[in-house]
Structure 1
Amino acid sequence: MSFKRTALYPVNPITARGEGTKLSSSKDKIAYANGRTVIIRDLKNPGADIAYSGHIQNATVARISPSGYYCASGDSAGNIRVWDTVGEEQVLKAEYRVISGRVTDLDWDGESKRIIAVGDGKERFGHAFMMDTGSSTGEIMGHSKVPNAVSIRQQRPYRAATAGDDTTIIFYQGPPYKYVKAIKTHTKFVQDVRYSPSGDHFVSVGSDAKVFLYDGKTGDTLAEVTDSPHSGTIYGASWSQDSKSFVTSAADGTVKLWDVEARKATTTWTLGPGLSNQQVGNTWTAGDDIVSLSISGDLNIFDKRVGTNPARVLQAPSKAVTSAISSRPGTFIAGTADGRVLSHDGESYKTIDGSGHSSYVVGITATSDGPVYSTGYDDQVREIDLKGQSFVQASCPTASQPKSIAVAKDQTVFVAEANAVEAIRSNQKVHELKPSFSPSSVAASGSIVAVGGEDQKVRLYDWDGKTLKETAVLEGNKSVISALAFSPDGSLLVSGETSGRVLLFDVKERKLITSRWSFHTARILSLAWTEDGQHCASGSLDTHVYIWSVKKPMKNISIKNAGTGGVSAVFWLSPMKLGSTGADGCVRVWDIVFHV
């Protein structure tokens, strides 16, 4: 048995209210950070997407070198990692601790040799250094508060500009980079500063909703661009490749395209009112795609020739994926830590509309021919209409916080809670079982319902449409049951433990088949069977995925480090395609070969 990763569906950038999010681009690729993962996303060739997970702390910014061979990424602890973008391994070239706190931005010089990084340091707010040796190439000074952005002129003579919360822009010349002057044009926080590709100009934007243009060589202020101004904080600015235009994104929900020579806005895209449409970052790719980030996490791609709606919107999780199932062959549904539920059609995500969950999605379940149900920490069970891509308006509250969810053939939904198992049908509670143990997980097949408990036992119940009647107790587990799954025909049952063991039971004979599936080292979070019931996949907090064989219990496929931070869900997209996802929000698809 063997495997090969064939697809990566990346997570979108993470956002925070009142803060900008740095996006960058190289050719047709955009780079950004989410948690400890750095994403390089190819807008023209999704198969070339990269997810780099080398950071121990949360990554904050990433920029690809002008040569395209390396990426430099900074994190919340002040570390800069320089790594290879070519090949599958993303080999680390160098790592430096440049400041003592969060890195807010960094930039490369035109030779891909020097980097300036800025951020919330205690001893200094920035550092200029050689990418291969880490040796200093100047002194970044002049700010009294945290810098938010840095940009380097890409041609000689090199210049650099930093912008910060002290309402000041500092202009440097070098290398070695040294302070030249402070520019006091803004009256509030300066959120971004960007040099044009030609180096003739640089632009600054800030919380005062103002846009200023400067001479790239001298740092002299050329003009305040006042035509058709934004009405809210401007978080990002980016230039076209010909340096004749630049684009800005603001909290007023608009994206504006500006003509440098005319000093006026030529196009305004309005995303709409409301918090979710605030624009908190942007980048302009060499392929002429203007990408602006909504605070909701959506990446809006604009065509400069069309001044109406985005040409397309890239939706994806922006937080950890906490649950996922395959809905139809080649498609899946994922729930996230912030309450969003998204469907994926094999090519792109779409957010499930309507009144969804307000917090952590605990579980998603469905029968092969029925609707989809989800539950979360908002203590609600909700039904999803896949055809309409929306939540059904009605929902059913649970008595306490859900731990696990399953659905029977008659579309009765079972929810395991701290002290009970509730049966829900047509958004109404029809039965409540209050056992002597604390339920921790639930699964259903036909009229049989399996409930795992914190007492390390699995109990089987018969469901007659009205009540649950206990029929058997399966023993052999040695820690709390964290996941359960019936094989498609209901003849087999697997239980996953918090210790990492997976046990296989014969449902009809009520006996343990094997307890030797014990290679995981942490809590089992998800179990999924193949259609033929011959193999079962397990995902664990230990970041690994294992695929177990029923006929040959000692044989398995081990997919190590399948997801940074833990694998919360595994699901079969087809008989030989497995999906896995988890804490990093990325979904990876694996081609599995079962050798006879």
Structure 2
Amino acid sequence: MSYKSVDLYPCNPATTRGESTKLSAHKDKIAYTNGRTVIIRDLKASLFNPSSVIANSGHVQSATVARISPTGYYCASADASGTVRIWDLVGEDQTVKSEYKVISGRIKDLAWDGESKRIIAVGEGRDKFGHAFMVDSGSSTGEIIGHSKVVNAVAIRHQRPFRAATGGDDNTIVFHQGVPFKYDKAIKTHTKFVQDIKYASSGDQFVSVGSDAKIFLYDGKTGDTLAEITDSPHTGTINAVSWSPDDKSLLTSSADRTVKLWDAESRKLLTSWTLGTTVEHQQVGNVWTDGGDIVSLSVSGDLNVFDKRVDDKPARILRGPAKSISAAVPTSTNNTFIAGLSDGRVLSFSGSEYDYVEGVGHKSLVSGLVMAPDGKVYSAGYDDLLKEISPNGSSFVPATYSTEGQPKSLAIASDSTIFIAEPDRVEAIRSNQKVHELKTKYVPTAVGASGSIVAIGGEDQKVHLHDWDGKTLKEVATLENNKGAISALAFSPDGSLLVAGDSSGKVVLYDVKERKLVTGRWSFHSGRILSLAWTADGQHVASSALDTHVYIWSIKFPLRNISIKNAAAGGVNVVFWVDGQKKLAGTGADGVVRTWDITFHA
């Protein structure tokens, strides 16, 4: 058995309301972060062309900002611990060139110089808020001083003589001469937090924006204030600003839910786009690619791509998971699936793009998704609701069911009865009506169903088998070979076999009819089993765990397996088969869905 990495479906940027999210671009590629993962995607390529996406999960802490070097050969990414990693973009290995701990807290922005030799990183620190260093050696190349609070943004002039500007929560911009970089003067134009600073590609000017909704232009060499743009101003915090490739225009994105395009010379408004009326439409980041794509980021995680010739709405919206995927289920069409997120959102993937499942969704983590024989999909969330999704995955059906407790796991029987594992019971629901309730002496943690057999796993480390007659659950057997609380259950397609994963990382295979152990030797995982998935022929089963690994086990040859190590940073929450049994998909904490072609040898 062997595997080959194939398609990769990227997540969208992670955002925080009220904070600027840094996006960057090189040619047609944009770079951003989500969790420990750095995403680089080509906007001109097919949206989900696997060769157009890079996902690098090398950070130990949450990544905060990523910027591609001017040469395009390297990416510098920073994280919440104050570490900067410089890694190779040429080749598939993404080899780390160097790694430095530069400040004692979260890095909020970084910038390359025009020669791709020096970097300035800024953010939260105890002894200093920024550091300038050489890429090759890590040695200091000046001092970033003059701020008394967190520094939010930095920009470097790419032409000699080098200059740098930093802006922070002390409402101050500090102008540095270089190299080596040294304090020149403090600029007090803003009256509230400075959120973003950008140099024009020519180096003649730089621009700053802030929480006071103001935009200022400065001389790129001297730091002298040139002007304030006051035409049709924003009414909320401006979180991001970018220059057009030709330096003739400016792009600003604001918490007032608008994106504005300005003429840099006349300082007049050219175009304004209003994204919506809700908090989710607040704009927290932007970037203008060399290829002419104008991109602004909503706090919901949506990447809005604009055409400056169209002033009423984005030309396209790139949707995707902005939070971790906590549940997923493949649909009847190849390469399509529905995914539930930790923030309660549910998305459908059509094979080429993501879209939201419309309607009133969940308010908190989606804990389970199952598909009924008729193609309907049901979701359960930590908001104690069971919801139905239309067969095409486009919208929620208005009818809901309120559970007695917090749903931990879902399963569906052949008669379309849904079983919900809750802290002290299992509920049986059909047509949004409770038809049975089983109160347990143990804490149910997982549930599975096949035909008229329902398996309930508990914190007692046992699997309880029940017969379901359409009205009542009757316990008929107890399986006791697991070594931890049962965390995942899955029946084979024909219902003859059952796999049970537990909190110790062990996967146990049972014969359902004989109610006995088949093998208990699948114990290669080192963390809690989070998901189990059978191939369509029932000959192989995939497991994923908190240890970030995926294993594929053989029923015919129990000692054989395929190991996919480090499949997702932070743990692989879900595995599922798409395209029959040829392709395995795995996803988790970073929201990236990775797929592998699996070859089964005789």
User: Normalised by the size of structure 2, how large is the TM-score?
Assistant: 0.97
* Residue identity matched to 1:584: D
Q: Secondary structure at the match of 2:143?
A: coil
- The equivalent of 2:152 in structure 1 is 148
Q: Which amino acid aligns with 1:558?
A: S
The residue that corresponds to 2:438 in the other structure is 433
- Distance, in Å, in 2 between the alignment partners of 1:477 and 1:180 is 66
Residues 332 and 345 in structure 1, CA contact (< 8 A), matched pair in contact too: yes
Q: What CA distance in whole angstroms lies between the structure 2 residues aligned with 1:526 and 1:474?
A: 19
Aligned to 1:284: 288
Corresponding residue to 1:593 among 578, 594, 599: 599
SS in 2 for 1:416: strand
Q: Give the deviation of 1:582 after TM superposition.
A: 0.9
TM-score, L = length of structure 1: 0.98
**Residues 235-384 of structure 1: pairs in structure 2 closer than 5 A:** 235-328=239-332, 329-384=334-389
Q: How does 1:375-524 map to 2 (within 5 A)?
A: 375-387=380-392, 389-524=394-529
The number of residues matched between the two structures is: 596
* Corresponding residue to 2:547 among 542, 548, 553: 542
Shift of 1:471: 2.3
Q: Deviations over 1:187-240 (max 9, x none)?
A: 111111100111111111111111111111221211111111111100000111
The answer on whether the counterparts of 1:26 and 1:66 sit within 8 Å (CA) in structure 2 is yes
Does the 8 Å CA contact 1:370/1:411 hold for their aligned counterparts?
Answer: no
1:323–1:568 contact (8 Å) kept in structure 2: yes
Q: Who is 1:121 aligned against?
A: 125
Deviation at 1:370, TM superposition (A): 2.6
Q: Deviations over 1:341-381 (max 9, x none)?
A: 11111221111121111111111111343311111111111
Q: Which residue of 1 aligns with 2:185?
A: 181
Distance 1:18 1:249, change over 3 A: same
C-alpha displacement of 1:441: 0.7
2: CA distance between counterparts of 1:55 and 1:368?
A: 42
Question: How far has the Cα of 1:59 moved from its partner?
Answer: 1.3
Aligned counterparts of 2:458 and 2:359: Cα–Cα separation in 1: 34
Deviations 1:39-72 (A, max 9, x none): 1122123422111111111111111100111111
Q: 1:226 aligns to what?
A: 230
User: In the TM superposition, what is the alpha-carbon distance from 1:388 to its structure 2 partner?
Assistant: 6.0
CA distance in 1, matches of 2:527, 2:351: 30
Equivalent position amino acid for 2:582 in 1: M
How far residue 421 of structure 1 moved from its aligned partner, in angstroms, is 0.6
Determine the C-alpha separation between the residues in 1 that align with 2:145 and 2:67. Answer: 22
The residue type paired with residue 79 of structure 1 is: T
Q: What are structure 2's unaligned runs of at least 5 residues?
A: none
The corresponding residue for 1:101 is 105
**2:552 is matched by which residue type in structure 1?**
I
Name the counterpart of 1:526.
531
Shift of 1:330: 1.1
Are residues 130 and 396 of structure 1, via their aligned partners in 2, closer, same or farther at CA, if it must alter by over 3 Å? same
Letter in structure 1 aligned against 2:305: I
Shift, 1:551, TM fit = 1.0
Q: CA RMSD in A?
A: 1.2
Secondary structure of residue in 1 paired with 2:280: helix
Q: Helix, strand or coil for the counterpart of 1:276?
A: helix
Q: Secondary structure at the match of 1:402?
A: coil
SS of residue matched to 2:164: strand
Aligned mate of 1:73, from 74, 77, 95: 77
2:211 aligned residue: 207
Q: State the alpha-carbon separation in 2 of the partners of residues 362 and 311 from structure 1.
A: 34
AA aligned to 1:576 is: K
Letter in 2 for 1:592: I
Q: List per-residue Cα deviations over 1:545-568 (Å, max 9, x = no partner).
A: 011111111111110111111111
Secondary structure in 1 matching 2:305: strand
Give the Cα–Cα distance (whole angstroms) in 2 for the partners of residues 35 and 515 of structure 1. Answer: 34
Task: Give the deviation of 1:400 after TM superposition.
Answer: 1.0
Q: Which residue of 1 aligns with 2:569?
A: 564
- In structure 1, stretches of 5+ residues that fail to align are none
Corresponding residue number in structure 1 for 2:6: 6
Specify the alignment match of 1:43 in structure 2.
43
Alignment correspondent of 2:67: 63
Cα distance, 1:472 vs structure 2: 2.3
Determine if the alignment matches structure 1 residue 584 to structure 2 residue 590: yes
Q: Tell me the distance in 2 between the aligned counterparts of 1:511 and 1:146.
A: 61
* Amino acid in the other structure paired with 1:385: S
User: Following the alignment from structure 1 to structure 2, what is the Cα–Cα distance between the partners of residues 516 and 362?
Assistant: 28
Q: Once the two structures are superposed, what CA deviation does each residue of 1:233-274 show, in whole Å capped at 9, x if it has no partner?
A: 000001111111110000010001111112111111110111
Query: Which region of structure 1 is more displaced relative to structure 2, 161-170 or 275-284?
Result: 161-170
| CA–CA separation in structure 1 for the residues paired with 2:340 and 2:393 | 17
Is this contact kept in 1: 2:373–2:416, CA < 8 A? no
Amino acid at match of 1:588: R
Return 1-10 or 461-470, whichever deviates more.
461-470
3-state SS of paired residue (2:408):
strand
Q: Show CA shifts across 1:282-303 (max 9, x none).
A: 0111111111110011111111
Report the AA paired with residue 179 of structure 1: Y
| C-alpha distance in structure 1 between counterparts of 2:21 and 2:14, whole Å | 8
- Distance in 1 (CA, whole Å) between partners of 2:324 and 2:265 is 44
String of CA shifts for 1:294-331, please: whole Å, max 9, x gaps: 00111111112221211111111111111111112211
Q: Does 1:130 align with 2:134?
A: yes
